[in-house]
Amino acid sequence: MTEPEGSRARRDPDALLARAGVRGDRNQDQHFLVDDRVLDRLPEYATAFDTSHVLEVGAGTGGLTDRLLADAERVTAVERDVRLVEFLREEFAGAVDAGRLDVVAGDALDVDLPEFSASVSNLPYGSSSELLFRLLPRERPLVVMVQAEFAERMVADPGSSEYGRLSVTAGHYADAEIVERVPREAFSPPPAVESAVVRTTPRDPDYDVPEDAFFAFVRGVFTQRRKTMRNAIRNTTHITGIADAAAVVAAADEDLLASRAGELRPQEFAALTTLAIEDGGLAV
């Protein structure tokens, strides 16, 4: 039975699973968050942000959707499983009819995302990277559940083994922090890995560089992260789009050229990107 929308009692996640009549499928990267305490805390991590319109990616059976509706003025929930889309629309019919909930059917990588003030989501782990590369440029606060290893990469500092393209991208758009670690037992079925909640707070970078060129450069040199930047720049022109790698190498600081991609700060990537534009013919 659908619970009344006006009630402040939180829906039980196990009961939602039972009413939906589904089971999580590891092969489909489908793990439902069923720990009440974690579900209750997730919206709290966004209380400092504007929650007038919250985007939820991967709504599942609605355990988090229910909690978001208790605080947000409006929620857009994206779900790719057509069975769950229909279930959510029926389960939360009151909120849908009141215009407080919009359930969007489809993959969040493909659908048109609305304007939103913040996003709180238990992201599908198999597509976390691609989803964040889509969400971060929207420059809105994010609270996302991801694999613990993935979370470590998001918040990693230069010089650490976890530091990579994701770290640079996250650091370009926002301050990122791990706010909670979540055990496997919080999900049904339990995933093979531990999870973590990451909160990002948007901010402007302290450098000015054309983003398309910047991210093309970063993407390219991290494919050669074991090489010095001198060799990485020379070997990845097919990815970066640099027309004259030799000119970039000739103009760059020797300390930067002797470093590896995993050792450079975003500001240093920006400086090299600027050289690639000015001296190496990198298109903007």
Residue 107 labelled as part of a binding site: yes
Residue 115 labelled as part of a binding site: no
pTM here? 0.91
- As given in the structure block, the two tokens for residue 39 are 């579900």
Residue 53 labelled as part of a binding site: no
31 pLDDT band, cuts 50/70/90, is: confident
pLDDT at 30: 78
* Of 89, 69, 205, nearest in space to 137 by CA: 205
Q: Where in the sequence of the chain do the CATH 1.10.8 domains occur?
A: 211-278
Strands 195-202 and 142-147: antiparallel
DSSP element (H, E) containing 122: strand 118-122
* Of 120, 126, 122, 154, nearest in space to 47 by CA: 120
pLDDT at 179: 98
DSSP element (H, E) containing 103: strand 101-105
Residue 79 labelled as part of a binding site: yes
pLDDT at 7: 46
Residue 31 labelled as part of a binding site: yes
Q: Which residues of 167-195 are buried (b: 16+ CB within 10 A; e: fewer)?
A: bbbbbbbbebeeebebeeebbbeebeeeb
- As given in the structure block, the two tokens for residue 98 are 């009141």
Looking at the predicted structure, is the pLDDT value of residue 149 above 50? yes
Looking at the predicted structure, is the pLDDT value of residue 260 above 80? yes
Report the pLDDT averaged over residues 153-177. 96
CB 103 within 8 A of CB 72: no
Q: Where in the sequence of the chain do the CATH 3.40.50.150 domains occur?
A: 13-202
231: region left, alpha or beta (phi > 0 left; psi from -120 to 50 alpha): alpha
Length of the chain: 284
193-211 tens-digit pLDDT: 999 999 999 999 999 999 9
DSSP 227-280: SBHHHHHHH-HHHH--S-HHHHHHHS-HHHHHSBGGG--HHHHHHHHHHHHHTT
Fold of 13-202: Rossmann fold (3.40.50)
52-94 tens-digit pLDDT: 999 999 999 999 999 999 999 999 999 999 999 999 999 999 9
Fold of 211-278: Helicase, Ruva Protein; domain 3 (1.10.8)
227-240 tens-digit pLDDT: 999 999 999 999 99
